[in-house]
Structure 1
Amino acid sequence: MLPTLNGRIQTRLFMLIVFGGLITLLITPVLPGLDLSGDSYQVTYLILATVTVLGVLWELLYHLIQQFRWEKDWPTLFGLITAINEGALVWLLLDLELVPGIDAAPDFWAFFIMFGVIWFVIWVWTNGPMRVPLIRWRFFGGRIV
């Protein structure tokens, strides 16, 4: 299966909204450096929204880069290591206080744990178990709808 641009964007949005939302709900109370007021959830969900919005822009850039590759795709491992540049950009925006709704950057380790856990769970699910129950997803370029 070669995921299409539309399929990759749909999969990214679905996975970040569903899995990312659930993981954020569960992990926020145990993140270091965050108080347990309602602001913690606001901060973590704004970070998730930032990752989601920037993720669509990243997909457009990745699609452009893939056009220079012979198979117009890249190995699965590349999908895992893209977490480095995506996470670094989101952290830079947080550190520079450029994310709307977040006045000060959260604790780095809180961000690192949240981002890393969500990224890893989504990567594992998308490249493994998701391919079994969602056969249509596999054979239609990664499209959800």
Structure 2
Amino acid sequence: MTPTLLGRWQSRLFVLATAGLLWTLLLTPLLPVGFATTRETYAGTFAAIGVTAAVGLVLWEPLYQFLQQFRWEKDWPAMFTLLEGIPEGVVVFFLLRDVLGFDVRATPFLIHFGTTWLVVFLCLHGPLRVVSVRWRFRAGRLL
């Protein structure tokens, strides 16, 4: 069974709240942010995680679920999942910078968002399927 919209929401929130936040905690002090304080840097990276989760719930996951219905097997190839990060990253970057007013620089954002997206992708396609063997059979729902 392929993930339902509820399953996609749960998976996104769970993996961002666990692997995404843990990775952000470890990576943030290492980002090339110039003279920004650690507090400002953590505020920006945690905001990026939050905006990624929020925009994903409202915009991306419903859109991906809709697009999957046109595919014969109603599934999303792993490469598509990995490439989803490109448009999501662009939207999150501009929301953080232009709407929310964060002083976001392109290089630290690309490093943080790109590596976090890769960590989340690898967790979805590795440990999550090992720890929760029936995840796929429950349409991606964790609860």
TM-score of the aligned structures, taking structure 2 as reference length: 0.91
* Displacement after TM superposition at 1:105 (Å): 3.1
Q: Which residue in 1 is equivalent to 2:128?
A: 130
Where does structure 1 differ by over 4 angstroms across 4 or more consecutive aligned residues? none
State the alpha-carbon separation in 1 of the partners of residues 119 and 38 from structure 2.
Answer: 26
Q: Which residue in 1 is equivalent to 2:27?
A: 27
Answer yes or no: is 1:3 the counterpart of 2:37: no
Tell which deviates more after alignment, 107-116 or 61-70: 61-70
Q: Which residue in 1 is equivalent to 2:40?
A: 39
Does the Cα contact within 8 Å between 2:33 and 2:41 map onto a contact in 1? no
* Displacement after TM superposition at 1:80 (Å): 0.4
1:36-73: CA deviation from partner (whole Å, max 9, x where unpaired): 33222111111110011011120001111112222222
Residue type at the aligned position of 1:79 = T
The CA RMSD over aligned residues, in Å, is 1.4
Residue type at the aligned position of 1:44 = T
Gaps (5+ residues) in structure 2? none
State the alpha-carbon separation in 1 of the partners of residues 60 and 83 from structure 2.
Answer: 13
The secondary structure found in structure 1 opposite 2:135 is helix
Does the Cα contact within 8 Å between 1:32 and 1:107 map onto a contact in 2? no
Percentage of identical aligned residues: 44
Of 63, 66, 69, the match for 1:67? 69
* Displacement after TM superposition at 1:118 (Å): 0.8
* Displacement after TM superposition at 1:138 (Å): 2.6
Q: Which residue in 2 is equivalent to 1:14?
A: 14
Gaps (5+ residues) in structure 1? none
Of 81, 85, 98, the match for 1:79? 81
